[in-house]
Amino acid sequence: MSSNVIPLSSILAKRPDRAVDAKPAGGCSSSSCGSSKGQGEMPDHVWNKIKDHPCYSEEAHHYFARMHVAVAPACNIQCNYCNRKYDCSNESRPGVTSERMTPEQAARKVVAVANKVPQLSVLGIAGPGDSMFDALKTFETFRQVEKLLPDLKFCVSTNGLALPDHVDRLADHNIDHVTVTINMVDPEIGTAIYPWIYFKGKRYTGLDASKILHERQMESLERLKGKDILVKVNSVMIPGVNDAHLMEVNAAIKERGAFLHNVMPLISDPAHGTHFGLTGQRGPTPSELKTLQDQLAGGANLMRHCRQCRADAVGMLGEDLSQDFTMDKIGDEVVYDPEPRRLYREVVERERADHRQAAEVARADLAATIPAAPAKLVAIATKGGGRINQHFGHASEFQVYEVDAAGVRFVGHRKVENYCQGGWGDEDVLEDKVIPILAGLDAVFVSKIGSCPKKDLARAGIAAVDAYPFEYIETAIASWYAETFGVAEQDFA
Amino acid sequence: MAMKINASQCSACGACEFECPNAAISMKGDAYAIKASACTECDGDEPKCTAVCPVDGCIVKA
């Protein structure tokens, strides 16, 4: 596992060569430049609650790790995109887990992970069933963990049906945010997504089921707002079912105080045995997803870095160490050592301030490029820390940024098959599995890349850029863009 | 007169154990099982275990 865990040294790598000027770029206050990297337009009380949460804050996802414990297997609704009988350690998607555990086991696992992964900032309960239907186990887990790690933040993910009954209890714990999955605000549309629900001792189907679910979801949002708990809403984008409707969902949830809306693509591989998988319902293409996300961008803040991770995921977003922390690898007695996490937090505080300054400088550089130059899409190989610090062949996902004179914007990520196995690059994997995924990008930034893959990428119209190893992502992209499109003539008159 | 869990279909989520008004359901090996002597089939209502079970055909009349 050591190759996966990010050592402190990797985020403290080489300093940028250029002098970093602390002064903000002229005329452009940090609240109006449209970058979702940092606080942006978020009010202070919201930002303080999410700034260390990798799933909520795009900036935090470079620095902090989350873990999920699968203590809540029971669910009270059936969704057409979910089949909880299916379990495979190679699968990475919500609702899937390899190991179910008791609250006592979960507490031991949290300690074992916190000792090895100092980036850990959040413990989430996301199932594999519903955290609020299986609430007894969820709350018992919180009780046991907060005795050992009082500073760890908790979060839960739920469909909202049982949530209104538990809001008061949630507020008693170290919970700043709750995720509610809402796929519709029109029960007619709900009938195509939810075949049944189980509510107050009875199974409901058809329109009745969706009506109850909808009313309870809206009540959940209002009650959470009343307790000052931040709400993120997840929506699964299902083409032809709710894709056009998600604009209405966005408006409805924003009106009820949700601060973040996460639109995720439907996963419907027939091999998973879900209703949608078996009936041939397709998921959206990456461009359909991006088009919808762009349309929604004016509503509740959108997040684009969601990795739709497993109910037992461990580590930084985009990596999963869950197989390194199965219960058989965790001893019966584990003792928590708070020192690594405390040190890590100190380092990250300094590093983040530094990173923000570098991003300001990059923004100023870009503002000086030709305004009419075309926007470019680039991919970044990174192990975290907001830096270009991964070898091309070692990347199993690339973060994608868009750049033009207005700035550098994170737009999403693309997962690829790891083509470099044990020092040897597999040409077939590169040709068939990696390059097609990167199609449409203008450049790939890596810490290092071999000459063969570099040529192969060039043939596909993608420039491999290895001139900025260990630089901050924004600094490297801005320098490259400014070199490509020159600097606009400045008018000093 | 009792309900029965088809062990090969059971996903062991535990929802039925939680809902059973007679505490007739418990974990047995890799799956849940219903103690027939305690089960009343919910006295004529729809059995709660069948209503909450996520797998069609998993909990049936014995």
pLDDT in tens, A50-90: 777 776 677 777 778 888 888 888 889 999 998 766 554 44
Q: Could you tell me if residue A388 is inside a domain?
A: yes
Mutate which: B46, B48, B52, vs A, most A CBs within 10 A: B52
Torsion over CA of A55, A58, A317 and A378, rounded to 10 degrees? 150
pLDDT at site A487: 64
Residues of chain B under the 70 pLDDT cut: none
Residue A402 shares a structural domain with residue A312: no
Measured in angstroms, the CA of A25 and the nearest CA of chain B are apart by 55
Q: Compute the mean pLDDT over every residue in chain A, rounded to the nearest whole number.
A: 81
Closest CB from B9, B15, B50 relative to A74:
B15
Residue A311 shares a structural domain with residue A386: no
A100 and B CB contact within 8 Å: yes
How many structural domains compose chain A?
A: 2
Residue A362 shares a structural domain with residue A440: yes
Q: For residues A55 and A199, which has the higher predicted lDDT (pLDDT)? A: A199
Q: Identify all chain A residues contacting B20, using CB atoms and an 8 Å cutoff.
A: none
Kindly report, residue by residue over A117-126, the tens digit of the pLDDT: 888 888 988 8
Band of residue A140 on the pLDDT scale cut at 50, 70, 90: very high
Q: Cis bond leading into A128, ω under 30°?
A: yes
Instruction: Give the B-side interface with A, CB within 8 Å.
Output: 9, 11-15, 18-19, 46, 48, 50-52, 54-55
Kindly report, residue by residue over B40-56, the tens digit of the pLDDT: 999 988 899 999 998 88
The winner for highest mean pLDDT among A71-85, A248-262, A303-317, A415-429 is: A248-262
Smallest CA–CA distance from A78 into chain B, residue: B54
Q: Could you tell me if residue A450 is inside a domain?
A: yes
Q: For residues A32 and A366, which has the higher predicted lDDT (pLDDT)? A: A366
Kindly report, residue by residue over A431-443, the tens digit of the pLDDT: 788 888 888 899 9
Band of residue A296 on the pLDDT scale cut at 50, 70, 90: confident
The residue whose two tokens read 């997504």 is A193
Q: DSSP 3-state assignment of A318?
A: coil
Q: For residues A48 and A101, which has the higher predicted lDDT (pLDDT)? A: A101
Across the interface, whether the CB atoms of B55 and A129 are under 8 A apart is answered: no
Residue A81 shares a structural domain with residue A221: yes
Domain of residue A106: give its range: 31-329
pLDDT at site A13: 38
- pTM (two decimals): 0.73
Asked if pLDDT for residue A300 goes beyond 70, the answer is: no
Q: Identify all chain A residues contacting B52, using CB atoms and an 8 Å cutoff.
A: 74, 76, 198, 203
CATH of the domain at A460: 3.30.420.130
Residue A39 shares a structural domain with residue A96: yes
Q: For residues A13 and A486, which has the higher predicted lDDT (pLDDT)? A: A486
Measured in angstroms, the CA of B32 and the nearest CA of chain A are apart by 13
Residue A234 shares a structural domain with residue A307: yes
For A103, residues 6+ apart whose C-beta sits below 8 A from its C-beta are A71, A137, A140, A141, A143, A144
Walk me through the domains of chain B, giving residue ranges and CATH numbers: 3-61 (3.30.70.20)
ipTM: 0.82
Angle between helices A103-116 and A135-148 (to 10 degrees): 40
Across the interface, whether the CB atoms of A201 and B15 are under 8 A apart is answered: no
Smallest CA–CA distance from A79 into chain B, residue: B54
d(CA A171, CA A227): 7
Asked if pLDDT for residue A37 goes beyond 50, the answer is: no
Q: Could you tell me if residue A17 is inside a domain?
A: no
**Interface subset of A 60-89, CB within 8 angstroms of B:** 73-76, 78, 84-85
